[in-house]
Amino acid sequence: MSFKEWMLERAQHLKPETFEKLMMIIWALWKNRNNVLWEGKAQSVPDLVLSCFTWLTEFQKSRGTGTSTQRSVRPKWKPPTQGFKLNVDAAFLPNQHQGGIGGVLRDSTGQFKAAFFQHVDHAASPKQCELLAIRASLDLLSSLDIQNVCIESDCMEAVYEANCTNYALLANGGLVDDIQAMWSRLQGVTICHTPRTCNAVAHRLAALGFEATIGEVWFDYAPPCIIDVLQHDCAQLL
């Protein structure tokens, strides 16, 4: 029996969800091989597995929205049931190797509490910028001495790495170490994924950070540049 025949024979005995993961890993290995040959770049094993499973999840989400009724239902931002919610986002252009990050803190009634944006002079990837946004959000919470906060990012890979316990081999391992060290000093803080449609205010702030030369921070009173997006989020709660 040839290897191809053996693979096909074994595939018939796999559960559909296991077979899908196997195909994604094979594709990721093939793509990684081509990147090594043509660009001299290689992903680490944790990055490779994480990225291919993230792509699979995104594909399954898009495949599950086949009807017009399902497509019209978009997730909306919701305030936390208690405590606070801090949404973060990042902007990045690979040809310029720079980015911007931003975040907004709101309470359980949707009221604005704080916001920030920063320019990132040197960045290697969108995921690195997202991790920088998470680290900046933890720094903000530390300065405010606020507890019981849900930090939300629309980058699933960054959220996974921020929560990863075995991060030594990750490309951004040093940054994740910073995040977890800051996180350990805070009480009642979680880092979670949220759909992009629930992250509009942070997205606006990240874009402003990309264009800015200096960072900005606001407390208690929202700046005019995000008033419209904040009002849109609140209007959807009615």
pTM greater than 0.85 (yes/no): no
Same domain, yes or no, for 189 and 231?
yes
Last residue of a domain, one of 19, 36, 69: 69
Residue 101 domain boundaries:
84-235
Same domain, yes or no, for 26 and 88?
no
Percent of the chain with pLDDT over 70: 95
**Is residue 75 in a domain?**
no
Q: Please state the rounded mean pLDDT for residues 14-34.
A: 81
- Is the predicted pLDDT of residue 72 greater than 70, yes or no? no
Q: Residue 169's domain is classified under what CATH number? A: 3.30.420.10
Same domain, yes or no, for 24 and 56?
yes
Q: How many domains are there within the chain?
A: 2
* CA separation for the pair 48, 43 (Å, rounded): 6
Q: Please state the rounded mean pLDDT for residues 196-207.
A: 94
**Is residue 214 in a domain?**
yes
Same domain, yes or no, for 162 and 64?
no
Same domain, yes or no, for 167 and 64?
no
Same domain, yes or no, for 97 and 183?
yes
Specify the pLDDT at position 1: 62
* CA separation for the pair 87, 89 (Å, rounded): 7
**Is residue 212 in a domain?**
yes
**Is residue 27 in a domain?**
yes
Specify the pLDDT at position 66: 44
Specify the pLDDT at position 54: 79
Q: Taking the CA atoms of 109, 201, 206 and 45 in sequence, report the sign of the dihedral they define.
A: positive
pLDDT digits 0-9 by tens, 128-178: 999 999 999 999 999 999 989 999 999 999 999 999 888 877 888 899 999
For 44, 48, 161, 175, 177, the CA distances from 167, given in Å and listed in that order, are 11, 14, 7, 10, 8
Last residue of a domain, one of 69, 98, 119: 69
**Is residue 79 in a domain?**
no
Going by pLDDT thresholds of 50, 70 and 90, the confidence category of residue 68 is very low
